Amino acid sequence: MSSKQTRKPQADRTGRGSAADGRGHADDATGASAAPVGMSAPSEVELAMSDLVADANGEIVLFNDSGLRRLAIATDAAVVGDGRSGAHRTATGQDVGGFRFLTFDNGVRLYYEAELDVVVRRSRSV
């Protein structure tokens, strides 16, 4: 997974509520520990939206070069739109034609490859 900036993956978490359908937040109340070293990689990684860096147009592009099936994004912003991008280049020159996207009420648009299931979760207070 590559982006302009990411943080260390958290423990594997299970939960429903794919935001790829544009329905908004899904709270996750369960958590399981990560696989021990030498075991298979977690089936899901969680990133905080606040750790991702948007370009000048408020766009973030996630490339799934690690082969993840599912990615959770923790944010307090609500999903207000979703879809598949037509021909489009971001301000940083990334070609996101054919990528899926989520648009949030804070103006951020997150592009990701269609094979990746993106889940949006409410941020947790520490």
- pLDDT bracket for residue 14 (50, 70, 90): very low
pLDDT digits (tens, 9 = 90+) for 27-55: 333 333 344 455 565 678 899 999 999 99
Domain boundaries, the chain: 19-122
pLDDT digits (tens, 9 = 90+) for 48-78: 999 999 999 999 999 988 888 999 999 999 9
Show the tokens assigned to 96. Answer: 């996101």
Model pTM score: 0.66
More confident residue, 120 or 29: 120
Using the predicted structure, report yes or no on whether residue 9 has a pLDDT greater than 50.
Answer: no
Nearest partner of 62 among 3, 121, 125, judged by Cα:
3
Which residue reads 């947790």 in tokens?
124
